[in-house]
Each structure stands twice: as structure tokens, then as C-alpha cells.
């Protein structure tokens, strides 16, 4: 896998970051609005946003005194192409997919 793909999957491994991405599917959001539904500090949310930003999944832009977050949907293109290569597995047959991945790691 490439470094960009590793960063994307690492960023997606956290459920909070996946929720943030889903929120940003709707529209650009201010950091404070992103943080609102979570029971964690603004600093913790900022760390999640930094990871998403480093992975290229979101961009951040300062407008006046407010920092805005925007989803970068093209960033998931490489991950999507990689995952589609496993199309021979049925969605419900995760055991076979897991076994395939285990064999790949040993090779």
C-alpha cells in the first residue's frame, strides 16, 4: 500500500473521525460546530481534525476568526479503488475477506 493509503485507512480506523466525515458530507462546518455533538474537549476534536487533514480527507480554512472544515472526497478515491479489487468477496462473507488479508500479510 502507498503511504497515502496507509494514512487514509489509519484516519478511518477511529469511529469519531468516521462520524466527523459523515457530518462533513452534508456541508462545510466550523470546528466548533463539528465539536458540538461530541462529549470531548475542543482540543481533542482538533486532534481528530488534524489527523483527517494530514490524511488529506478534509481541508481546513480560516475565515475571519473561524476555522472551517471541508470534506475532500477525492482523497478516498485510492482507498475505494483498492477496496474494489476485493469485489470477489460478498459483503456478508467477511470471514473469507479476513482470511485473505491474513494470508496476504504472511506473504
Architecture of the domain delimited by 3-106: Orthogonal Bundle (1.10)
pLDDT, tens digit (0-9, with 9 covering 90-100), for 66-100: 999 999 988 888 888 888 877 665 555 667 767 77
Ranges of each domain in the chain: 3-106
Spatial separation of the C-alpha atoms in residues 75 and 73, rounded to whole Å: 5
pLDDT, tens digit (0-9, with 9 covering 90-100), for 32-70: 999 999 999 999 999 999 999 999 999 999 999 999 999
pTM of the model: 0.76
Amino acid at each position: 500500500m502507498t503511504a497515502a493509503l496507509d494514512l487514509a485507512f489509519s484516519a478511518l480506523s477511529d469511529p469519531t473521525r468516521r462520524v466527523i466525515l459523515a457530518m462533513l458530507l452534508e456541508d462545510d462546518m466550523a470546528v466548533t460546530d463539528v465539536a458540538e455533538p461530541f462529549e470531548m474537549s475542543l482540543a481533542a476534536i482538533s486532534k481528530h481534525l488534524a489527523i483527517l487533514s494530514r490524511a488529506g480527507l478534509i481541508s481546513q480554512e480560516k475565515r475571519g476568526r473561524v476555522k472551517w472544515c471541508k470534506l475532500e472526497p477525492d482523497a478516498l478515491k485510492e482507498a475505494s479503488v483498492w477496496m474494489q479489487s476485493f469485489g470477489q468477496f460478498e459483503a456478508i462473507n467477511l470471514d473469507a475477506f479476513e482470511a485473505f488479508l491474513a494470508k496476504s500479510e504472511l506473504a
